[in-house]
Structure 1
Amino acid sequence: MRTLSLPGIERSASNVVLGLMRIQESSDDEIRTLVGTARDAGITVIDHADIYGSRVHGCERRFGEALRLTSSEREQWVIQSKTGIVTDGPYFDFSYAHIMESVHGTLEALGTDYLDTLLLHRPDALVEPDEVARAFDELAAAGKVRTFGVSNHTPRQIDLLRTSVTQPLIANQLQLSITHAPMIAQGLVANMEGLDQATVRDDGIVDYCRLNDITIQAWSPFQSKFFDGPFIGSERYPELNAVIDRLADEYGVPAEAIAVAWITRHPARMQVVLGTTTPSRVTAAALGSELPLTRAEWYELVRAAGYTVP
């Protein structure tokens, strides 16, 4: 398992992350098996959010109840969570009061004294950077959050936060898969007229993150588009699956590993966030952590996914 050195985090962080947004109804044994499988595969990072589950902090609480981590066990993991979405609205809230309330609820639910990373979960159009900075400063000073980041933010939204926030923003969680890759595919056809792929939708977020030492965390790595089903094995992507299957045979790995490897092969040093609750799929996906796809193979997958490579 390839690991990354992230600013402010003492232990190495795996480039494959176990996302736990679907464990609300899982039993203690099922959760322990899932987490144990991830650990055995070399995964050291766990991703939560306050809104995951049928109630606020639902999945975080199930994790805490099932694992009941001792202090020494806690130190083996990089645990992050997210705040900012209010599902009752629905709306977004980056106010000082909401961030503080959410983090304290997260810590209590998880049964831990601190988060390694706190991400702002999707942009809040009404954000006041001073309020975010006040919350971050107090959480950092109290040792309750060690590092901070964002999710689904554009470069300018990050710059706005940085007018007040003094801590480095070390991560940006963004949707990315072979078939949902506008933030990468756009740059391949820059300055080409008449192609929708050439439309700039995110102000160059990949290059911005590389320039500012922000790790991109790719969520939904197997989704074809925005929550419309996986592309692996889908009849909607026959050419892509033919390439994936061929490469999987050549490398001796499952198809999931090829999908993960397409992301981890990128020199931006990205992390891949898994959302499955099936242990065997975690094991399969983790095999893509260090898979050395060639340039030719990487670009072949881009073409097979339907993107233009001039």
Structure 2
Amino acid sequence: MGVSNFTPAQFTLLQSRLPFTLATNQVEISPVHQPLLLDGTLDQLQQLRIRPMAWSCLGGGRLFNEEGFQALRDELAQVAHEVNADSIEQVVYAWVLRLPSQPLPIIGSGKIERVRSAIVAEKTQHDPSAVVPHP
């Protein structure tokens, strides 16, 4: 059994009351939503050796559609060029896959192109710390 969007305190409290180990915490991990990189959620899961499930890696489409993220799109396009990725989508999935907590991305799309992009991202080589700047 896992949970969704639990803070570290909520996760710890629930775990302390259960007779079994929680399997995961499903959380939003995206270049357009980065609080979990700093609030201890991913750190806690890494410490517990629990891989988070990452939903909305592309920000629910906000990454592609909102004007406020144009600079981020440009930066991701530059990284895509540098690592020979086919798209910024591949760069984002590659970044998520290489975070220290080893998240498991939830693709959330029925479009085969999106699924292929996520699969190819696993093979994309780059330095994850250089990939996604703060928006």
Interval of TM-score (by shorter of Structure 1 and Structure 2): 0.7 to 0.9
Residues 47-71 of structure 1, C-alpha deviation per residue, up to 9 Å, x if partnerless? xxxxxxxxxxxxxxxxxxxxxxxxx
User: Which of residues 81, 96, 114 is equivalent to 1:263?
Assistant: 96
C-alpha distance 232-259 of structure 1, shift in aligned 2 (>3 A): farther
Partners of 2:85 and 2:91 within 8 A in 1:
no
Partners of 1:232 and 1:255 within 8 A in 2:
no
**Cα distance, 1:174 vs. partner?**
0.3
**Cα distance, 1:282 vs. partner?**
1.1
Partners of 1:265 and 1:293 within 8 A in 2:
no
Structure whose residues are more often helix by fraction:
2
**Cα distance, 1:182 vs. partner?**
0.7
Correspondence 1:274 to 2:96 = no
The count of corresponding residues between Structure 1 and Structure 2 is: 134
**Cα distance, 1:159 vs. partner?**
2.2
Hey, what's the Cα distance between the residues in 2 that align with 1:235 and 1:283? 26
In the alignment, residue 236 of structure 1 is paired with which amino acid? G
Hey, what's the Cα distance between the residues in 2 that align with 1:159 and 1:296? 28
Unaligned runs of 5+ residues in structure 2 are none
SS of 1:158's equivalent? helix
User: Which of residues 94, 100, 117 is equivalent to 1:284?
Assistant: 117
Hey, what's the Cα distance between the residues in 2 that align with 1:216 and 1:296? 19
Which has the greater radius of gyration?
A: 1
Root-mean-square deviation (CA), in Å?
1.9
User: Which of residues 57, 67, 72 is equivalent to 1:240?
Assistant: 72
In the alignment, residue 22 of structure 2 is paired with which amino acid? L
Unaligned runs of 5+ residues in structure 1 are 1-147, 187-201, 306-310
User: Which of residues 169, 175, 182 is equivalent to 2:28?
Assistant: 175
Partners of 1:265 and 1:292 within 8 A in 2:
no
In the alignment, residue 235 of structure 1 is paired with which amino acid? E
Hey, what's the Cα distance between the residues in 2 that align with 1:173 and 1:296? 22
**Cα distance, 1:290 vs. partner?**
3.5
Hey, what's the Cα distance between the residues in 2 that align with 1:296 and 1:173? 22
**Cα distance, 1:271 vs. partner?**
0.8
TM-score, scaled to structure 1:
0.40
